[in-house]
Amino acid sequence: MIYVTVKTEESGRILSFEMTGHADFAESGKDLVCAGASAVSFGAVNAIEALTGVIPQVDLGGGDGYLHVELPMIDDVKKDEQIQLIVRSMIVSLQTIEMDYSEFIDIIIE
């Protein structure tokens, strides 16, 4: 099971997200759920860097499917809004995967 945990402030601003585990939907290299979740999450991190110039703090685990991303506090309100939009888009994409494959991916927003 892939677990995605999104941490937010009371205001709703996203502070971080973490992804752990493996979907085990299919054998390695053919697991559509893992591939989709990985592509969406890494694509969001790459988009943050490419589109805003902001580099989030990223921690990757070895082969255990671990990804932890801390979104920095920045003074540039426009860039922060862009980062939030990118991460919210990532969440929507992951929730779309969860709708069809809920036994393989679980998303928690705290």
Q: Does the annotation mark 61 as catalytic?
A: no
- Burial category of 21 from C-beta neighbours within 10 Å (exposed 0-12, middle 13-18, buried 19 and up): middle
pTM score: 0.92
Active-site pick, 6, 19, 23, 34:
34
Residue 10 and residue 109: Cα distance in Å, rounded?
12
Q: Does the annotation mark 22 as catalytic?
A: yes
The backbone region for 58, taken as left when phi is positive above 0, alpha when psi lies in -120 to 50, beta otherwise, is beta
Q: Which two tokens stand for residue 62?
A: 């070895």
Active-site pick, 22, 68, 79, 88:
22
Backbone phi, psi, residue 19, to 5° = -125, 130
Q: pLDDT tens digits, residue range 47-96? A: 999 999 999 999 998 667 899 999 999 999 999 999 999 999 999 999 99
Q: pLDDT tens digits, residue range 94-109? A: 999 999 999 999 999 9
Q: Looking at the domain that runs over 2-104, which CATH code has it been given?
A: 3.30.70.1490
